[in-house]
Structure 1
Amino acid sequence: MLDSTKPVVDPGATSIATLLEAGERQLTKTSPSARLDAEVLLCHCLRQPRSYLRAWPERHPDLPQTEEFQRMLALRSQGHPVAYLLGLREFWSREFIVTPDVLIPRPDSELLVELSLAGLARDRSAKILDLGTGSGILAITLAAERPLSTVLACDNSSPALSVAERNAERLGVNNVRFVKSDWFAQVTERDFDLILSNPPYIAAEDPHLQQGDVRFEPRSALVSQKQGLSDIESIAEQAGRHLKPGGRLLVEHGYDQTAPVQAIFDNHGYRAVATHRDLAGNPRVTSGLWQPL
């Protein structure tokens, strides 16, 4: 027998405002941005912008939309990243497909794009190599912003390359090529003007690996041996054979890795080594010029 003291709510007759309130309550314990998450997820289910939620709070989504929202709330309350639930994340004003096979694009990595573009003239072609491309955000962004250039993007993960290729096609960028390669293993070209990478740089024992979105991201794209420096050293050691004289190497790294990364660059013969800060003021990217003796 039904308890007459508890209202029976038809999910198909629940308003947007009620759904958002319930969603925020459900996510409060597990998300630092519960209200925003609820709004973004509901917008996705409704296929509407966030302005729609404010304009029509009394409207009732249909039952399939409400059920989809409740399913996404359940996953988000377990910690699943919003980007993976939506299948999309914005980077450099473009929307990229993301799946659990690739890292979630973060604003920190836009510094790699800024530094790269600063050294690439709009009216001249350049050869660019992106190592560990993942979803392709760096390679595709540079190819789109410098259409006269040619970009080679490598990754050792076939599923990641599939995501990157879908992104390039979706965004209509055709001056980027994708190759399966463990760093430089399958890279035969030389004389690149720019080599850049956002490699794994987290130490295996770092406690942050058990927190937040990182728990759901591919570990192979996050963790590196030797306190997170193994892959950075491998890239720096090999990049000189593929850069033209005066070519640049740009590598993203952890905020606390400046000194060892600069030492790696110095030890492998790079000049004008410098570390650049991200929008939060943290040391994030180290650059160097290849000047063979």
Structure 2
Amino acid sequence: MVRKAVIPVAGLGTRFLPATKAQPKEMLPLVDKPVIQYIVEEAVAAGITQIIFVTGRHKRAIEDHFDRNLELERALEEKQKEELLKTVREISKLADFIYIRQKEPKGLGHAILTAEPAVGNEPFAVLLGDDIMVSEPPGIRQLIEVFHRYKCSVVGLERVPQEEVDRYGIVKATEIERGIFKVEDMVEKPAVEEAPSNLAIAGRYVLTPSIFETLRRTPPGKGGEIQLTDALKLLSNKEAIYGRILEGKRYDTGNKLGFLEATVDFALMRDDLREPFLRFLKRKVEEELNDGRADTAPQ
């Protein structure tokens, strides 16, 4: 059984400065819930019972969020705000949480290796702290199902535009059944003209514990970082690796445009916000169109 999930959250979030100067990027809210909670809820919905956060400095807010806040609970109880009280209490009950400090920013592979003492000798999931999946079944559950079938490491995949392959880890793979691939090779952020395909690794993994020994043997790459993609390529020489195209919608909240897209979509999913927010968006579009017509009108 895949019971544990590793979520690396040690990054500095420089693309969102100054908003992330004093708070983790993972705590930026989508409507009224932080990004990281959506990712934890995906893992829990897939049957994960233990969440291992690989953290860095200035990430204490994540620990506080998934802990109880007795002072807040008392205040909500006194004000008889029962629904809000229930909501904040349930956060700490989502899973068992473990926090491990990554002392140096040495890449995703190093972050995964840092989690080895908490993972132990069992298969585990990895969910990147920037990527939110909206899908049924949950994105990581889709990979767990493939793992149960083949008993090998599985990576989440999505097809990306050819001109964007240099932003992702890219795999060369053979489709063995619809949406499921046997991985033959992989490369981290290849040049567009050198990419073996447009199948990108999409922020979700289920890994066997043999990845830890492989990570220890993986030489650092660009910037002195240990890349998980490089380690998986090494691991493929010893055991099979599979990929599955993730069904659903993925949001890359690690960049500003992706974060804004997620904010709009998640607001529109809310019954209490959809109609007034949609009216606002339509009004803004009309205003922009009118302004554009005014700018191009003959003087």
TM-score (norm 1): 0.29
Higher-Rg structure is: 1
